[in-house]
Amino acid sequence: MDDLDKTSYQLPELNYDFNAMEPVISAEIMELHYTKHHKAYVTNLNSALEKYHEAETKNDVAQMIALQAAIKFNGGGHINHSIFWTILTPVAKKSSEGPHGELAKMIDRDFGSFDQFKEKLTQASIGIQGSGWGWLGYNKGQKRLEIATCANQDPVSAQGLIPLMGIDVWEHAYYLQYKNVRADYVKAIWKIFHWRHIDERFAKASLA
């Protein structure tokens, strides 16, 4: 079972309680989102990878191809949520006032101002049809920041961007609290972004 160990992904630990993001995101949503939704992506990713490796040892290319959709969906879900938990911080922590340093400068350069960037990412995220994510990403080749939207759980790295911060607009992320009003959720989540951590993500992305 050594091969299985190599491909076994796990839920990352949260360094805050499920009620930490209240009142912006309820404890009920956080708990379900983490223990049910993210957990399911991890379980299903491990299962798909296990089947993939079995197919690989049998040279069953058709089966390997058939498993790619499950790997993409659940692998993307695991990647996206693993980032999402780390870019949130309780309102009281005061990390939420905005980016500092090089990231702040680059947001001003590439979007005009923080407020313009915020408005663009907000509108892009609200406008996603169906389930998906809105992202701020770093385009390393062009050395610039870009806003991108992704359908389903597609990782933004597939668009050539290093993910810096993202907004999960799947209904599971807000419906219990905000019902059908995605716009209210997207506007509220700006109160709990962990900009000190996002600053660090940008520093790593720009140096890498």
- Distance in Å, CB of 73 to Mn ion, minimum: 12
Q: Which is nearer to Mn ion, 85 or 170 (CB)?
A: 170
Q: Identify which of residues 154 and 168 has a Cβ nearer to Mn ion in the complex.
A: 168
The vertex-20 CA angle with 129 and 14, nearest 5°, equals: 80
Site for Mn ion in 32-71 (CB under 5 A): none
> Smallest distance, Å, CB 131 to Mn ion?
9
Interface characters, 102-141, with Mn ion (x: CB under 5 A): ----------------------------------------
The secondary structure of the chain, three-state, reads CHHHHHCCCCCCCCCCCHHHHCCCCCHHHHHHHHHHHHHHHHHHHHHHHHHHHHHHHCCCHHHHHHCHHHHHHHHHHHHHHHHHHHCECCHHHCCCCCCCHHHHHHHHHHHCCHHHHHHHHHHHHHCCCCCEEEEEEEECCCCEEEEEEEECCCCHHHHCCEEEEEEECCHHHCHHHHCCCHHHHHHHHHHHECHHHHHHHHHHHHHC
Q: How far is the CB of 185 from Mn ion (least distance, A)?
A: 12
By beta-carbon proximity to Mn ion, the closer residue of 20 and 173 is: 173
CB of 175 to Mn ion, least distance (A): 11
CA gap 136, 147 in Å, rounded: 5
Given the complex with Mn ion, which of 168 and 199 has the nearer CB atom? 168
Smallest distance, Å, CB 118 to Mn ion? 21
CB of 37 to Mn ion, least distance (A): 5
Instruction: Return the residues of window 144-173 that contact Mn ion according to CB under 5 A.
Output: 168, 170, 173
Q: Which residue is nearest to Mn ion (CB)?
A: 168
Q: How far is residue 137 from each of residues 8, 60, 88, measured CA to CA in Å?
A: 27, 37, 17
Site string for Mn ion, 167-206 (x = CB under 5 A): -x-x--x---------------------------------
Compare residues 38 and 201 and give the one whose CB is closer to Mn ion: 38
Question: Residues interacting with Mn ion, by CB under 5 A?
Answer: 168, 170, 173
